[in-house]
Each structure stands twice: as C-alpha cells, then as structure tokens.
Amino acid sequence: MASTDIGRYTPWPLSVTCTDRGDGTLLIRVIGELDACVVSQFRAEVAGLVKAPVRVVELDLDGVRFCDAAGVRELLTLRHRAAQQQIMVALVAAHPAVQYVLGLVGQRAWLPGPGQR
C-alpha cells in the first residue's frame, strides 16, 4: 500500500500592528490565526504595549480568521492584566469566527456592539 503525504500544517502568519492615537488610546490590530501555535508570539508583541500611559486599548480582531481555546485564554488574560493596571481593553472589531468562539465561552458582552464589525 502506498503512503500518501497529506503535508504539514502551516499556521497562518500572525501580524500585530499598533497605532498610538495620542490620547492614551492604543489601537492593536491582529491578523492571522490566534491559536496555541502563536499565543506566545502574540503575548510577547502585546505585553510591552499595554502599560501606562495607555488608558484604553482598542483591539481589532477582524483579521483573525481562527481562534482556539488558547487564543481565547490569551485574550482574556490580556484583558485581566490590563485591568490590573486600570487599562480598559475594548474589542472594537471581531471576525465572525472570533465572535462565535467568544460566544461559546460566555463572553458575548465583550463583543462589538451593533454597527461595529
């Protein structure tokens, strides 16, 4: 019987960009997959950004096509660590895949409101 090589899983590259709005607000845009393969990269890139004098972090996850349990845990950890520093993390946009998984874990209240992505 001949073996078939189905290939290796290659995660979608993760891209994290940051825009300082200059008023204590930071927009963090994430593109790619937020899963167990990349959460350490996400944590490393975001950790140095979420600190004083930032007061609000706007998190745009519209470009995140997949998010697993590790990704959700990292998002909730980010929100918790920010709150400990009196920094609010607002989810301003989320891909439907992210909205779905956040809904599954009881975080619908964190989803963007009507008129937002």
- Give Cβ neighbours of residue 84 (< 8 Å, ≥ 6 apart): none
Classify residue 5: in a domain, yes or no. no
pLDDT, residue 26, reads: 96
Classify residue 36: in a domain, yes or no. yes
Classify residue 66: in a domain, yes or no. yes
Which residue segment(s) compose the domain that 90 sits in? 16-110
pTM: 0.85
Classify residue 29: in a domain, yes or no. yes
Classify residue 76: in a domain, yes or no. yes
Tens of pLDDT, residue by residue over 49-108, are 999 899 999 999 999 999 999 999 999 999 999 999 999 999 999 999 999 999 999 998
Classify residue 10: in a domain, yes or no. no
Q: Which residue has the tokens 């745009």?
A: 60
What's the number of domains the chain is made of? 1
Classify residue 99: in a domain, yes or no. yes
Classify residue 61: in a domain, yes or no. yes
pLDDT, residue 116, reads: 55
Q: What is the CATH number of the domain that holds 86?
A: 3.30.750.24
Query: In terms of Cα–Cα distance, which of 96, 12, 85 is closest to 54?
Result: 85
